Amino acid sequence: MYLHPEFEKLSRSEIEALQLERLKKTVRQCLRTEFYRERFAERRMTADDIRSLSDLRRLPFTTKQDLRDSYPFKMSAVPLSEVVRLHSSSGTTGTPTVILHTQKDLDEWANAVARCLYMVGLRPGDIFQNSSGYGMFTGGLGFQYGAERLGMLTVPAAAGNTKRQIKFITDFGTTALHAIPSYAGRLFEVMEEMGLDPRRDTKLHTLIIGAEPHSEEQRRRIEQMLGVKAYNSFGMSEMCGPGVAFECTEQNGLHIWEDYYIVEIVDPVTLEPVPEGEVGELVLTTINREAMPLLRYRTRDLTRILPGACPCGRQHLRLDRMKGRSDDMIILKGVNIFPIQIETVLMQFAELGNDYLITLTNEEANDLMTVEVELKEFSDDYPRLQALTREITRQLKDEILITPVVRLVAKGSLPKQEGKAVRVKDLRKTLI
């Protein structure tokens, strides 16, 4: 059962006192790693320099590149014998990233997710189904342990197999479902094909949607289609996974759990704090983690802190829904993809030229990535071109974990802007 409701009810002054205490502890923990020892030495700082929360601004930022450079275990702040799980980002061509967890980290993560689910009214007796990918996708095990911690009956259905997913929903009487917003549309479409009306034929009342940007209109549409309340869930593997920030029943901003994270919003160029309430890059410091604490992690997500108090009474700050990214990461089907991963695969084929175009669409509730790539030379050897297309598709799927449609096109046929190739065209409707 969910154990620590007291942290949810902290006042601002209690939150800040706890943050300072935990920040001091975190800094000492960070200094067990060579990475942070070097950063502190460059700044001639020691753990004793953290006397107030405003001293946070003197600390170094941490970036995804730092995580890559530390791959796999260099950022561990505990002996590896104390680490009980790792989650790793996708990719075999570039260096992936790794996040490490002790048993206490996993327990705290489960508590955070349980807190989120409890906040939106879920209780023991609810039946919780998870359509996230399991394995390395943190939405799988993250929600699994959180929902179990809360004491719900869990259905770890995992991604895909939509008809089976729906059968579980109807047969087991699933009341709450975690689904990526774009997949919620697909579920509804298949329910209709099966002659099912979600309001009449299921017991669903709550949807947890997250992992990709979506608009208020998209949420309302999901709520109407499925006859549920849908709550926005924000998280990222670097912070553990889901459970970082979550909407309460007011559905107006995502409470970020400040007993776990210290929030900053900075200008992505100057790295200075933006004026209160303005959009900037979300920077998070973990203050409740043992194996791999991170100081001032640049998430690259763009958002703002909502002004004013939430009518629900919780004092933890609220983030606005995500407005985009300050890098070129694409999120499709709940999977994060960097164009450079695609480029790296393509450039390994001698038959291909340098120009390619990634187009994202979502016709009829199906998210799709099309990769058009120019051939180096004209060819009408169709069997060979077909085999080449198949091989590129296979290698791309290995790298980015989703299956793109690959099209080989003639040299010079892809659009250019001022001589430069356009790399990504996002034609998905109702994005933000």
- Cβ neighbors of 290 (< 8 A, separation 6 or more) are 29, 77, 78, 82, 102, 104, 105
Work out whether 212 is an interface residue with ligand AMP (CB under 6 A).
yes
Mask for 374-413, x = binds ligand COA (CB under 6 A): ---------------------------xxx----------
Number of residues that bind ligand COA (CB under 6 A): 20
Tell me the residue number closest to ligand COA, measured at CB: 139
What is the distance, to the nearest Å, from the Cα of residue 406 to the centroid of all Cα atoms in its chain?
Answer: 26
Query: What six digits make up the tokens of 290?
Result: 């043992």
Among Zn ion, ligand COA, ligand AMP, none, residue 205 binds (CB under 5-8 Å by kind): none
Of 20 and 222, nearer to ligand AMP (C-beta) is 222
Work out whether 236 is an interface residue with ligand AMP (CB under 6 A): yes
When asked if residue 234 is in the footprint of ligand COA (CB under 6 A), the reply is no
The single residue among 33, 131, 175, 232 that binds ligand AMP, judged by CB under 6 A, is: 232
* Backbone region of residue 327 per phi and psi (left: phi > 0; alpha: psi in -120 to 50; beta: other values): beta
Kindly identify the residues of this chain, within the stretch 213-272, that bind Zn ion according to CB under 5 A: 248, 250
Is the CB of residue 343 less than 8 Å from the CB of residue 163?
Answer: no
Instruction: Mark the segment that binds ligand AMP (CB under 6 A) among 197-205, 226-234, 342-350, 392-400.
Output: 226-234
Smallest gap from Cβ 113 to ligand COA, in A, equals 11
Positions in 203-232 near ligand COA (CB under 6 A): 211
Q: Which helix (H) or strand (E) segment is 99 a member of? A: strand 98-102
Instruction: Report DSSP state, residue 32.
Output: T
The sign of the CA dihedral 293, 296, 298, 303 is positive
Residue type, 100: L
The answer to whether 233 contacts ligand AMP (rule: CB under 6 A) is yes
Question: Contact letters (x/-) for ligand AMP, 34-73, by CB under 6 A?
Answer: ----------------------------------------
The only residue of 333, 341, 399, 406 in contact with ligand COA, by rule CB under 6 A: 333
Instruction: Kindly give the residue spans of alpha helices, DSSP state H, lying in 120-242.
Output: 138-150, 162-172, 181-193, 198-201, 216-226
| Minimum distance, C-beta of residue 5 to Zn ion, in the bound complex (Å) | 14
Q: Which of 280, 318, 319, 284 is nearest to 302 (CA)?
A: 280
157 binds ligand COA (CB under 6 A): no
Among 86, 190, 310, 414, binds Zn ion (CB under 5 A): 310
CB of 374 to Zn ion, least distance (A): 51
d(CA 143, CA 145): 6
SS (H, E, C) 211-267: CCCCCHHHHHHHHHHHCCEEEEEEEEHHHCEEEEEEECCCCCCEEECCCCEEEEEEC
Q: Does the N-terminal peptide bond of residue 72 adopt cis geometry, omega within 30 degrees of 0?
A: yes
Q: Is 155 in contact with 128 (CB distance < 8 Å)?
A: yes
Q: Which residues pair with 331 in a beta bridge?
A: 336
Return the C-alpha torsion angle 418, 421, 423, 426, nearest 10: 50
Report the Cα 405 to chain-centroid distance in Å: 24
Q: Which two structure tokens, joined as six digits, stand for 306? A: 């909502």
- Residue 293 binds: one of ligand COA, ligand AMP, Zn ion, none (C-beta under 5 to 8 A by kind): none
Selected from 91, 133, 185, 198, the binder of ligand COA by CB under 6 A is 133
* Closest approach of Zn ion to the CB of residue 305, in Å: 13
Write out the binding residues for ligand COA, residues 181-200 only, by CB under 6 A. Answer: 183, 186
Long-range contacts of the stretch 298-303 (C-beta < 8 A, 24+): 298/61, 298/62, 298/63, 298/64, 298/268, 299/236, 299/238, 299/239, 300/64, 300/268, 300/325, 300/326, 300/327, 300/329, 301/236, 301/325, 301/326, 302/268, 302/326, 303/265, 303/279
Could you say whether residue 318 binds ligand COA (CB under 6 A)?
no
* Candidates 65-73, 132-140, 275-283, 338-346; binding stretch for ligand COA (CB under 6 A): 132-140
233 contact, one of ligand COA, Zn ion, ligand AMP, none, CB 5-8 Å limit per kind: ligand AMP
- Which of these segments, 31-39, 169-177, 228-236, 312-320, binds ligand AMP (CB under 6 A)? 228-236
326 binds ligand AMP (CB under 6 A): no
367 vs 374, beta carbon nearer ligand COA: 367
Kind of pairing, strands 335-337 and 330-332?
antiparallel
Q: By rule CB under 6 A, what count of residues binds ligand AMP?
A: 18
Interface residues with ligand AMP (CB under 6 A) are 138, 210-213, 232-237, 241, 299, 301, 322, 325, 331, 336
Site residues for Zn ion per CB under 5 A? 248, 250, 310, 312, 314
**Binding positions for ligand COA, rule: CB under 6 A:** 131-133, 137-139, 159-162, 180, 183, 186, 211, 333-335, 401-403
